[in-house]
Amino acid sequence: MIPIVKPYIAPKEKMMPAIEEILYSGYIAEGQAVYQFEDQLKEFLNVPNLIATNSGTAALHIALLLLGVTEGDEVISTAFTAEPTNTTIALTGAKIVWGDVEQATGLLDPISVEKKITSKTKAIVVVHYAGMVCDMDRFNTISEKYGIPIIEDAAHALGSCYLNKKIGYNSAFTCFSFQAIKHMTTVDGGALAIRDQNLVNEAKRLRWFGLDKGVSRLKNNINRAGYKYAMNNVTATIGSVQLTEMDKVLTKHLDNGKYLDDKLSKINGVKTIPYHQNTTPSYWLYTLHVEKKSDFIKMMEANGITATELHLRNDAHTLFAESKCALPGLDAFYKTYIHIPCGWWVSEEDREYIIDIIRGGW
């Protein structure tokens, strides 16, 4: 079976000596290896400020805390995402307000979002789902017009681009995930890109109980409770090695994605996704629309190819009952969208086989 996701691990001759060295160094918690990884990641993304965390969820939580999001506030988000995007908002006590999605892309619709803004809106969380980039031209305009900061959830979007620059530089905060099945895994981990330099030290305190790592424990003074959200040196070391392989991995995703874009556009019963102007997807998942979706899934699986919806729309969960509302764009998108493999593990022979199978009908 050709899988929908598969972890990439750098060759053992590169990875294992680095892990062995850090494991027996005597320094395995947050330390210099973490700070080195942060520097390397900043250079890779071309962002000025970034902190590494133990998960993408932690990165998002810190971003919300830095904005002061709390009970009584509202955060506009999308119901079409992995659950941690919205369970993390729920942890702050704020009310989640669903913006609808664009029927063609499944991405948060800026027209819907603008209609949902109230005096209580504290932030807008946009999700670059499957590596596709939201309409940031319009979201930037909305952010400036209403003075509402944007948090970009880029868990799926390492290497995706906006205005020919990698995602991470544009908004107040951008959150990344290095969980097992993402473009780059550190086994688990994340990062938070922060536009405002003045917030970096507070972010670092929030990831380590509220303590300042630059000051002796005996001289520290906690003035705001933080969390155990720090990345450790072992995970960071894995990340540093993984980063040396990422150009190759991302290029493979991109090549496969563009191949599928071209070939699928010529097949009846299929519609490809129209990507937004000034954006380049990273194709963490390949998303398309198909007629008779259940038949398509069965046909693909019978031929050894995974085809899946992967994520349950979040408004189906009881936890988010208070946010329930009509989402006609999502209803329409959900009826026809599907994901198929396109990652680094999909060979040229595999992708030709996938196209041949789809071309044969279902």
3-state DSSP assignment of residue 295: helix
Tokens standing for residue 302: 């019978």
3-state DSSP assignment of residue 230: strand
For residue 251, report the phi and psi dihedrals to the nearest 5 degrees. -60, -40
Q: Quote the CA–CA distance of 117 and 271 in Å, as a whole number.
A: 32
* DSSP one-letter string for 135-202: -HHHHHHHHHHHT--EEEE-TT-TT-EETTEETTSSSSEEEEE--TTSSS--SS-EEEEES-GGGHHH
Strand partners, 190: 53, 177
How far are the Cα atoms of 66, 93, 111, 221 from residue 199, in angstroms, in the given order? 7, 22, 30, 18
Q: Which of the 8 DSSP states describes residue 215? A: S
Asked if 12 contacts 347 with a C-beta cutoff of 8 angstroms, the reply is no
Sign of CA dihedral 13, 14, 19, 25: positive
Tokens standing for residue 158: 């390492």
Catalytic site includes residue 324: no
Strand partners, 243: none
Q: Quote the CA–CA distance of 33 and 182 in Å, as a whole number.
A: 21
Specify the amino acid at residue 125. Answer: V
Specify the amino acid at residue 189. Answer: G
> How many of the other CB atoms lie within 10 Å of CB of 132?
25
Q: Quote the CA–CA distance of 193 and 169 in Å, as a whole number.
A: 7
Helix (H) or strand (E) holding 251: helix 246-264
Active-site residue, selected from the candidate residues 95, 122, 166, 182:
182
Which residues are identified as catalytic? 182
